Amino acid sequence: MKRVIRLLALGLAIGVNGAALVAVNASMVGGAERELASQQPQRVVIVGKRQNLPVREAVAIQNCPAPLAL
C-alpha cells in the first residue's frame, strides 16, 4: 500500500511539473511572437546599375516588402 501511494504521488508530481512546463513554454512563445510582430521592417537601400534579370529574380525583387530607395 505504501508503494502504491508513493507511485501515485510521483505520478501526480510529474503531471503537475509537466503542466507547468507547458504553460511556461506557451508564455515564452507568445511573448516572442508579439516581439517579432511589433518590429518594423528595416529600410533597404540598393546601390548599383539595373540589369536585365531572369524572370524568377525579377519577381523576387518586386515582391520585397521593404520600401524601395534608389
Please report, for the chain, the start and end positions of each structural domain, with discontinuous segments joined by +: 2-69
For 17-61, the pLDDT digits (tens) are: 999 999 999 888 888 888 777 777 666 666 666 666 555 555 555
Q: How is residue 2 written as a grid cell?
A: 505504501
What is the pLDDT at residue 15?
96
Q: Report yes or no: 67 and 44 within 8 Å, Cβ to Cβ.
A: yes
Can you give the pTM of this predicted structure? 0.46
37: buried, middle or exposed (CB in 10 Å: 19+, 13-18, 0-12)? exposed
